[in-house]
């Protein structure tokens, strides 16, 4: 016995849910949201920093520069002595004890100022005269912003104690750090909410699609009533599903029809042939049976052709063959074609057509549909009766072609069923026909964005006659 093994790729991967999560569009949108939100927070923090801490720094630097320029002025006016006096003056005036000065003579001795030593790192940095340094003042070391210049052989430092500002900066930085943490939290919270909202809005569509995949074709995507992108997606899906439903119905209809009305003539032909085979004594009978069988087969072929035509129209595949045509000319041709039949039966086929009737459609199917209507009308109109083919442009968009006869009309209860495949009203049982004529007309009407309407040609008259109106949209 071979040990039962599971193929490798069927093993559940523990990372799968994680991967699926990372790959989801919801996650990507959420991530995008988080990134944008964080970027906005960072920009905000940067501006805040620049406007507060940065501004303080710039103020200090400006004061130092002014200070240094003032001292240089003094130097030019009165030499080291004047500068030393100025420094002493300024130190005396500095109540907050933030000012730092130091003037060294060429020998490195302190001439004036409040520093104990010349700070080590001053004047060598990349910022030219500017630097930050820890300086020794009155025995303690403080952090200071330093501006160092050379006045001939003397060296001068002007500086500010920035310990306090540093503390302010630290407080500010701490605040920003906290708000960054808060912002990140909000970013991720927002992202999660967004992802959830997205998933929630898509769920009806997903559920519907799943139900349909499972075989329930009647399901439709519910609309949220918000008329947003998701509703539009749902509407498109529903339109698509309706179309598929109609196609499926067409296929079902054809297979029902085949089962119902093609088997019967086939069975008949088969029975006749078998009978003839069993009774071969008379060659004439055999020949007649074969001829009858061929006629039966031809009838089956015609029914089959009609069914395929209807399916062709219903599927909408022929929309590709649509072209602009003059319906008036097409109708005139059909009237002329069937007019001969009417004449031969002593009926009158009259027309009331406009000069021109431009329409986008399928000439062949339109001609066949109107032909079927006329053929029907002629069949049910007694000799001497009249059939009127008329066409007019409807008030709203569209065209109406109607065929009115002076026949017995169609009982109300049969009107709804006329147009179903193979339906034949009781009155028509005796006449030739397959019961597919109106089905085709209806399918052609639908293909052209319209419908077939049946009503009395002249209500109140006895017999009322039938008016079949083929409404065509401007599809």
Partner 1 sequence: MRILLVEDDAEVARFVRRGLQEAGHTVEHAANGRDGLFLAASEQFDMLVLDRMLPGGVDGVRLVETLRAQGNRTPVLFLSALSAVDERVKGLKAGGDDYLVKPFAFAELVARVEALARRPTVDAPATRLKIADLEMDLLSRTVTRGGKRIEIQPREFRLLEHLMRHAGQVVTRTMLLEKVWDYHFDPQTNVIDVHVSRLRQKVDRGFDKPLIHTVRNAGYMIRAEP
| Of 87 and 307, CB closest to partner 1 | 307
Scan residues 431-470 and list those touching partner 1 (CB under 8 A): 433, 437
We find the least distance from the C-beta atom of residue 201 to partner 1, in angstroms, to be 41
Choose which of 27, 44, 118, 337 interacts with partner 1 (CB under 8 A). 337
The answer to the question of residue 116 lying near partner 1 (CB under 8 A) is no
Minimum separation from the CB atom of position 437 to partner 1 (A): 7
Alpha-carbon span 420 to 260, nearest angstrom: 13
| Residues within window 293-322 making contact with partner 1, judged by CB under 8 A | 297-298, 301-302, 305-306, 308-309, 312, 317-318, 320-321
Identify the residue among 343, 350, 397, 458 touching partner 1 (CB under 8 A): 343
Among 148, 353, 378, 388, binds partner 1 (CB under 8 A): 378
Least Å distance, CB 418 to partner 1, is 16
**Contacts with partner 1, 183-222, as mask; x by CB under 8 A:** ----------------------------------------
Give the Å distances, CA to CA, from 94 to 25, 132, 160, 252.
64, 21, 11, 101
Which residue lies nearer to partner 1 by CB, 308 or 394? Answer: 308
Beta bridge partners, 136, equal 141
Given candidates 364, 382, 392, 416, which one binds partner 1 under the rule CB under 8 A? Answer: 364
**Only segment of 25-33, 48-56, 76-84, 332-340 that touches partner 1 (CB under 8 A):** 332-340
Contact between 88 and partner 1 per CB under 8 A:
no
Task: Report the C-alpha gap between 158 and 102 in whole angstroms.
Answer: 7
Residue 414 tokens read as: 């049969």
Each residue 383-422 as x (binds partner 1 by CB under 8 A) or -, in order, gives ----------------------------------------
Q: Tell whether residue 344 is a contact of partner 1 (CB under 8 A).
A: yes
Would you say 123 or 361 has its CB closer to partner 1? 361
Q: Which is nearer to partner 1, 26 or 371 (CB)?
A: 371
Q: Indicate the residue among 92 and 320 with the shorter CB distance to partner 1.
A: 320
Q: CA nearest 172: which of 56, 76, 255, 270?
A: 56
Q: Smallest distance, Å, CB 199 to partner 1?
A: 44
CB of 271 to partner 1, least distance (A): 20
Nearest CB to partner 1, comparing residues 312 and 455: 312
Nearer to partner 1 (CB atom), residue 161 or residue 375: 375
Residue 361 lies near partner 1 (rule: CB under 8 A): no
Site size for partner 1 (CB under 8 A) = 30
Question: Which residue among 367, 370, 391, 401 contacts partner 1 (CB under 8 A)?
Answer: 367
- Cα 263 → chain centroid: 47
Kindly state whether residue 372 participates in binding partner 1, applying the rule CB under 8 A: yes
Residues forming contacts to partner 1 in the complex (CB under 8 A) are 297-298, 301-302, 305-306, 308-309, 312, 317-318, 320-321, 333, 336-338, 340-341, 343-344, 364, 367-368, 371-372, 375, 378, 433, 437
């Amino acid at each position: 016995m071979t040990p039962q093994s599971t193929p490798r790729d069927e093993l559940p991967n523990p990372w799968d849910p994680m991967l699926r999560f990372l790959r989801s569009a919801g996650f990507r949108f959420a991530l995008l949201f988080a990134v944008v939100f964080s970027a906005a927070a960072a920009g905000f923090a940067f501006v805040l920093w620049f406007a507060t801490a940065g501004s303080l720094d710039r103020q200090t630097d400006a004061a130092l520069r002014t200070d240094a320029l003032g001292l240089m002025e003094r130097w030019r006016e009165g030499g080291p002595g004047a500068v030393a006096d100025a420094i002493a003056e300024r130190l005396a005036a500095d109540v907050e004890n933030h000012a730092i000065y130091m003037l060294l003579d060429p020998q490195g001795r302190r001439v004036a100022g409040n520093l104990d030593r010349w700070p080590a790192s001053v004047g060598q940095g990349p910022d030219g005269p500017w630097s930050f340094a820890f300086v020794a003042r009155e025995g303690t070391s403080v952090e200071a912003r330093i501006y160092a210049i050379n006045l001939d052989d003397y060296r001068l430092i002007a500086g500010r104690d920035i310990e306090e500002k540093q503390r302010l900066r630290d407080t500010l930085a701490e605040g920003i750090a906290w708000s960054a943490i808060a912002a990140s939290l909000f970013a991720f919270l927002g992202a999660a909410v967004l992802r959830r909202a997205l998933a929630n809005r898509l769920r009806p569509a997903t559920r519907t699609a799943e139900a349909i995949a499972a075989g329930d074709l009647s399901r439709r995507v519910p609309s949220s009533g918000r008329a947003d992108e998701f509703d539009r997606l749902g509407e498109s899906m529903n339109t698509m599903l309706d179309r598929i439903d109609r196609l499926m119905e067409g296929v079902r209809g054809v297979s029902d029809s085949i089962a119902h009305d093609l088997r019967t003539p086939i069975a008949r032909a088969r029975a006749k042939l078998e009978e003839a085979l069993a009774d071969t004594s008379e060659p004439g009978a055999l020949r007649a049976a074969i001829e009858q069988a061929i006629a039966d087969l031809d009838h089956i072929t015609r029914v089959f052709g009609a069914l395929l035509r209807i399916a062709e129209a219903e599927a909408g595949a022929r929309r590709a063959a649509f072209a602009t045509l003059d319906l008036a000319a097409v109708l005139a041709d059909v009237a002329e074609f069937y007019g001969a039949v009417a004449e031969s039966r002593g009926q009158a086929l009259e027309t009331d057509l406009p000069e021109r009737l431009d329409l986008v459609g399928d000439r062949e199917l339109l001609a066949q549909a109107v032909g079927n209507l006329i053929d029907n009308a002629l069949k049910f109109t007694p000799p001497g009766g009249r059939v009127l083919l008329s066409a007019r442009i409807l008030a709203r968009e569209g065209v109406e072609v109607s065929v009115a006869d002076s026949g017995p009309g169609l009982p109300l209860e049969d009107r709804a069923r006329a147009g179903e495949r193979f339906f034949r009203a009781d009155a028509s049982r005796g006449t030739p026909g397959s019961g597919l004529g109106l089905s085709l007309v209806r399918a052609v009407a639908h293909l052209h964005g319209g419908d077939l309407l049946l009503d009395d040609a002249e209500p109140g008259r006895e017999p009322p006659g039938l008016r079949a109106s083929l409404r065509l949209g401007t599809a």
